[in-house]
Amino acid sequence: MPIVAVDIPSGLNADTGETYTPCIQAAVTVALAFTKRGLEQHPGASVAGEVIVGPIGIPVRLADEMGVNTFTLNEEEMKQTMGLELFLHRKPDTHKGTYGHVLIAAGSRSMSGAGVLCARAALHGGSGLVTWARRKEWAMRWPASCRKR
């Protein structure tokens, strides 16, 4: 029988997403007033099911007045507000460390294109983190070609 959790599934930490034993596996969670961090990050997201925010009369402006500045960034918002296109879809319970770290030692002061091409290729190929090792005196010189168009 499907379980509907009210505000947060029992056994789930609302702030961290940590699950305790026992923890309810909900099909749907109706978060009261606002979503909770624990519903959006793993492992909590995997036990919350579909999350629906149910208004209970608390004005949104109160969150601003209390200094709450948390938001959820999804693929659609990344496309619209940042102009970023996600080429590789990731499992929701992973992070950049799951997908490897590439170290690049390429290019020179006058020919930084090699490093840029390597970095872009590594990211496009699926690396979670790319580090470009360059000489200290080149640190402030950042090629215009690095900026995403």
The model's pLDDT over 32-66, given as tens digits with 9 standing for 90+, comes to: 999 999 999 999 999 999 999 999 999 989 988 99
The type of residue at 42 is H
Neighbours of 60 (CB within 10 A): 10
The residue among 136, 146, 78 whose CA lies nearest residue 115 is 146
Answer for the pair 9, 32: CB distance below 8 angstroms, yes or no. no
In the chain, % helix, strand, coil (3-state, to 5) comes to: 30, 15, 55
Residue where the block lists tokens 């004005």:
59
**What are 63-85's pLDDT values in tens digits?**
889 988 777 777 787 778 766 67
Q: What is the pTM of this model?
A: 0.62
pLDDT for residue 141: 53
The type of residue at 32 is L
